Structure 1
């Protein structure tokens, strides 16, 4: 009879005020997509559609109507899906203007094709044999709050920390970095910082020079996106390696992806499937980055465990030894209960634990 799609909305509640230079999150709306076949109703594929306020290009006032329209079209087509036609279906069904919708459908269909067991990719991570090293994320807040988070992450066994910067006094942020470096060498603790575009262009070089005193691994998006010339100059001159993040959002054309990375020549790019239009678009960014000798890692974008699981399994398809940005599963009071577990700075899929999807029924 063909595949059918429907969705339910869920409001995720943060355990604390999660601060970035764009604002503070206390809750986040997400949408769970379910795909079934009327001939085998016991098999369901789930995906997560989670546009981010102030960042996703598809965070629009009529988003629920967009979801309804895509589901109605999908349900009317009497589709059968196979690995060979998945990307054809996605490209014809969902406009690139709605990247989070494409990611949700893509991962739900992959889950469905693999038997509806939350196995998006059958690999060493999904079967519990491989753990993925991840960075410990330190959110913005008061200096005391950030220091407490640093201590918590170090005690939990993380050897890579990522600090959100750009919202509190810059000297206070430097003092936090200094306190870490007084205790740990770069070989012991790798430090990443994420400015989310907070630095004014005219101040960026000076701030990067000061940050360089703390032997950082990289800085994500020091200035706002779409300042290509300025970012290219920074990438060439910065003593701290630069990673592009927001800069990639909204670019779906392969040629434009290539042109952007050739122009800016960053040291790294950060891939967030929800914001970039799904896994196939991430594959294109990875292929281009590899050709241009640009490093990369994959990061979740505040999805719940449904989306995080898909992103982690996709990440495990690659032999990338850099710590990934997949530590967001513990952010919420009311996350989906899943086998995802963080141990000693790594994300694991504990096959002894079960998914609890009652909230999706």
Structure 2
């Protein structure tokens, strides 16, 4: 097997804002694995290591050297470096291997045509711009996700009222990205949100504030989901202990951040033991990573909740792919081909 990697800068179509930061672009890494004898990587599998700078536990000076060492070890038959704590590298390897084993057709985990219900995501912007986004998203999607914690309370209240006017039956999911640092602050906002019939709120307080999170989960009038709380928790026993202690209603699975696909399976098992639901969410991956998450989700048995997958439309230079939207579902179009970019590859 041969391995190589390349860097790719994704440019947002807008100023992407969360309660943590604002972004104009995002760098990602592609990993290709080719079977023995395929020197030109014509049947290679593609994976994406979508390092999330400033949030991922793996973000640091050793990241790129570890990716380089991983490819070198594969190419020279050396022992592989330990990437247990490198979630995005784990996802990239798992995706590229699965894609390679399916013939390099960008169909890792399942070759079935995708048809996955997803939520409509409303990004934080100015109040007026957010209202304009609602006009499109709230009319199109039955499940709406909106990021909160950046605007003033009265502006957020008006936004939620507007969603209800546009789509009275909408299922509204909130994502706070750890915006509230005290119990009083968190509960003040949560109780205000409750007036608008909220389905759930993701990560209302910063990660690792276990006592605070436990109290918010206990007191909240609607369900709380753990998101960033899962980052950096890699051991199976640690996963079980965390969910047993906090008892969330839901967990949000981002393979890029929570241990790749193998780690996500462990989280699903741990969630089942405490009766917590789950859904997958993309983490600003390109279409390569989005396709992998969608196909992995589709491969899992049983009924699933509406997923938090992106649409691939947030970047001006995303990888052209068969991924598309049909109604409220992310689909793969059989009549559209992938168009992979020409990249400067490193093959150590």
Residues of 1 paired with 2:336 and 2:125: CA distance? 34
SS at match of 2:31: strand
Q: Which runs of 5+ in 1 are unaligned?
A: 79-88
Query: 2:75 maps to what in 1?
Result: 75
Distance in 2, matches of 1:74 and 1:182, equals: 56
Give the Cα separation in 1 of the matches to 2:157 and 2:73. Answer: 52
Alignment of 1:99-118 (within 5 A): 99-118=87-106
CA distance in 2, matches of 1:119, 1:46: 10
Contact 1:197–1:223 (Cα < 8 Å) also in 2: yes
Between the aligned partners of 1:171 and 1:243, the Cα distance in structure 2 is 24
Deviations 1:105-152 (A, max 9, x none): 111011111111111122xxx432x51010111111111111111112
- Which of 133, 158, 174 lines up with 1:175 in the alignment? 158
Post-superposition offset of 1:200: 2.1
1:121 is the counterpart of 2:104: no
Quick check: 1:49–1:101 contact (8 Å CA) kept in 2? yes
CA deviation string 1:237-270 (max 9, x = no partner):
2002100000000001011100100110000000
Deviation at 1:281, TM superposition (A): 0.4
Paired with 2:342 and 2:327, the residues of 1 have a C-alpha distance of 29
2:65 paired residue number? 65
1: distance between equivalents of 2:193 and 2:293? 30
Q: Distance in 2 between matches of 1:298 and 1:98?
A: 19
CA distance in 1, matches of 2:247, 2:62: 37
Aligned residues: 340
Q: Tell me what 2:289 maps to.
A: 307
- In structure 2, distance between residues paired with 1:241 and 1:322: 15
Where in structure 2 are the equivalents of 1:155-174 lying within 5 Å?
A: 155=139, 157-174=140-157
CA-atom RMSD in angstroms: 1.6
Match among 308, 320, 323 for residue 340 of structure 1: 323
Q: Indicate if the aligned counterparts of 1:127 and 1:351 stay in contact, CA closer than 8 A.
A: no
Matches within 5 A, 1:24-43: 24-41=22-39, 42-43=42-43
Check whether the contact 1:94–1:102 (CA below 8 A) recurs between aligned residues.
no
Q: What is the TM-score when the length of structure 2 is the normalising length?
A: 0.94
Query: Does 2:207 align with 1:222?
Result: no
Alpha carbons of structure 1 residues 265 and 204: separation in structure 2 relative to 1, 3 Å: same
Shift of 1:158: 1.0
| Equivalent pair of 2:20/2:177 in contact (CA under 8 Å) | yes
For the Cα contact (< 8 Å) 1:134–1:326, is it kept in 2?
A: yes
Change (3 A) 1:360 1:310: farther
Shift of 1:184: 2.9
Is 1:161–1:192's contact at 8 Å kept on the other side of the alignment?
Answer: yes
How far off its partner does 1:360 sit?
4.3
Partner of 1:190: 171
TM-score of the two chains, using structure 1 as the length reference:
0.91
Post-superposition CA distance 1:313-357 (Å, at most 9, x none): 011123343111112411100000001001212100111110001
Aligned positions of 1:271-310 closer than 5 A: 271-310=253-292
What is the CA–CA distance in structure 2 between the aligned matches of 1:276 and 1:348, rounded to whole Å? Answer: 25
Match of 2:5 in 1: 7
C-alpha separation in 2, matches of 1:320 and 1:16: 34
